[in-house]
Amino acid sequence: MSAPLLDVKESPEVVLDGRRVCIVDDDELYRARIGLMLGQKNLRTLEAEDTNALQAILDRSMPDCILLDYNLVSENGLFAVERLRQRYTALAPIVMVSADETQRTAVRAFRAGVTDYISKRQLSLDELSAAVKRAIGLRIREEARELELERLRRNTTFDDLTGLLTRHGLEERLAQVDQVARTRRRSYGLVALRVTRIDEVLDRFGIVATDRTLRAFGNKLRDLVRSTDLCGSWARGTFLYVVDAVDSPAGFQAVVSRLSSQTNFEIDLASAHLGIRVVTAHALHPDDGATLEELLAGLEARLEAETHSFYESAAGAADWVLLPGTGTEGGREEATERRRERRMRTLKQGRIYLDGLHSTIDCTVRNLSSGGAGLRLPGPTAIPEFFRLRISESGAIRQVRKCWHLNNDLGVEFLPA
């Protein structure tokens, strides 16, 4: 039973000759039978009786495709897929082979991340080889798409998220600034700015909230860029400001001070109001480096030191970012969490209901408030935007909306009954 959505037409560019397929099944005779069938298509086969033996093979060399039995003696095939996906970032496509022909099992397999799903019953050579070819072809197209996207990202001058220069565009312009400065023997300055807590925002609120935070900072930074200067994204959460021509160290220091004092900002994310601090470091050419490489290396070291100092401080060690303008009567700022709704940290069993209550997924409720909850899934799973949730066996089934989803964690909003 193959998935219609993955029924990709066999492409002439996918050649099976010499491809390596690893057969994972606890039945030695069945492994041998499948190996003989694939050999007729000039495929080279490897065999593993369980996932431990499979991992030993994958640690040595990744095959082109994995044929995985759904019912292994040692563990369920779905759990095996989850474990493999966590262990290997470039895992080969998996075709799951099972005697279970129910649609529910197939859906669970695809949600776990398998590329195709075929039945063991009356399995023919044509069906088996076609599934392997589809899986390999899909992986080839995915890799080609990623390479093309990466090429486009490298050649893009401006970042759509922040409206600032991309690293590629910034590196090109910075090289020109450095060349002119050395030719004309003049100075230029670099200021590195790092948005702190960006990883915490990602962990707690998801990728959409992280992008909102970086977009807000980009908007703020664009307002501070002078017409003679350059500014762009250097790494996720880190930005580089280039002062093209420095008249004097005092003038450069004034720019640094302005950026340091005016780049902190506040943002509302879900039910939290956060104050985001920005740490800075600066370097001046040629005082802090004779070459561009030396200047950037020194700047990076200073930024890491400033970042370390921030996280060692009271502001950095606090559970939430310090909010500008909050403090005691003595003027000392204190860490504050400002939420519109109180959130309780909890660990409760939950159950997700899909397909009109016919399909269920167990989960753990980690955070709970009157407006929503944070859930952890047992493994990578596709979850629709709207579904039903029961918290504990005695709880009512509630309609919820998915607000964010990252790896095995997602946040939901409770909808009116």
* Alpha carbons within 13 A on the beta-carbon side of 83: 12
Which two tokens mark 329? 């009567």
pLDDT at 40: 93
Local structure of residue 102 (DSSP, 8 states): -
**Overall pTM surpassing 0.85 (yes/no):** no
* Distinct helix (H) and strand (E) counts, the chain: 11, 18
Provide the residue-wise pLDDT of the chain in tens; the chain has 417 residues: 444 333 334 444 788 888 999 999 988 999 999 999 999 999 999 999 988 899 999 999 999 999 999 888 777 888 888 888 888 888 999 999 988 878 888 888 888 889 899 988 888 899 999 999 999 988 888 888 888 777 766 666 878 888 899 888 899 899 999 999 988 888 999 999 999 988 888 877 778 888 999 999 999 999 899 888 999 999 989 999 999 888 888 999 999 999 999 999 888 876 567 888 999 999 999 999 989 999 999 999 999 999 999 988 877 766 554 334 433 333 333 333 344 444 455 578 889 988 766 778 888 888 787 788 889 888 777 788 889 999 887 788 899 988 888 778 888 888 887
pLDDT at 2: 41
CA-CA distances (angstroms) from residue 90 to 24, 62, 330? 18, 8, 55
Domains and their CATH numbers in the chain: 4-151 (3.40.50.2300), 167-317 (3.30.70.270), 341-414 (2.40.10.220)
